[in-house]
Amino acid sequence: MQLEPDFWRHKNLLDMNDAEWEALCDGCGKCCYRKYIDGEGKYERLYYTRIACNLLDLETGKCGNYLKRFELEEDCTKLTKDNLPEFSWLPATCAYRLLYEGKPLPSWHPLISGDPESVRKADILIRHGIHERDVIDWFDFILDEDNEV
Ligand code: SF4
C-alpha cells in the first residue's frame, strides 16, 4: 500500500490506509513505558514513569520481540482506529495523539525530516529508563512535571 504525499496533513486518521497508519509511529517507544493513574473523577491524574516494558530496548526505543509482543506481554496494547478515543494516555509527542487533537506533526518526525534518526537526535526518547523487572518501588521512577513525555 502506498503513502499519499503529505497524507498526514490532509487525511483524517480514520481515512488512512494501513501503511499510512503505521508510518505515523515515529518509533520513540514512549508508549511502552508504564503509566500510573492516581485519584478518581476530576481528581484523577495520569503519571508517566521511566519504567519500561521488559521487552523494550532502552537504548533504541524499539520492541525486542515485535512479532510475539502480544504473547509475551499480555497488557501490550495495539493502537488501532477502534481505540482512538482512548489515545489521551499517549505521550504528548505521539503522532496519533497530536493528529487526533488536531495538532501538526513536529519537525523532527521522520515523515517530515525524512530521517529515521531525527527522533533520537531531537532527544525525544526517554532517558534513564529501567525495565519493569528491575523495579521494586514504582514511585521512585515517576517523571516529574518537567519531564513529562
Ligand atoms: S508513543 Fe506513539 S510514536 Fe512513540 S512509539 Fe508509541 S505509538 Fe509510536
Give the global pTM.
0.89
58 CA to centre of ligand 1 in angstroms:
14
Give me the pLDDT at residue 54, please. Answer: 96
Task: Confirm or reject: Cβ of 111 under 6 Å from ligand 1.
Answer: no
Give me the pLDDT at residue 24, please. Answer: 97
CA distance 119 to 83: 25
Helices then strands, each counted (H, E), the chain: 6, 3
Locus of grid cell 516529574: 144
Provide the greatest CA pair distance for the chain.
47
pLDDT tens by residue, the chain, 149 residues: 799 999 999 999 999 999 999 999 999 999 999 998 888 888 888 889 999 999 999 999 999 999 999 999 988 988 899 888 888 889 999 999 999 999 999 999 999 999 999 999 999 999 999 999 999 999 899 987 555 56
CA distance 67 to 135: 25
147's grid cell: 519531564
Task: Confirm or reject: Cβ of 90 under 6 Å from ligand 1.
Answer: yes
Give 77's DSSP letter: -
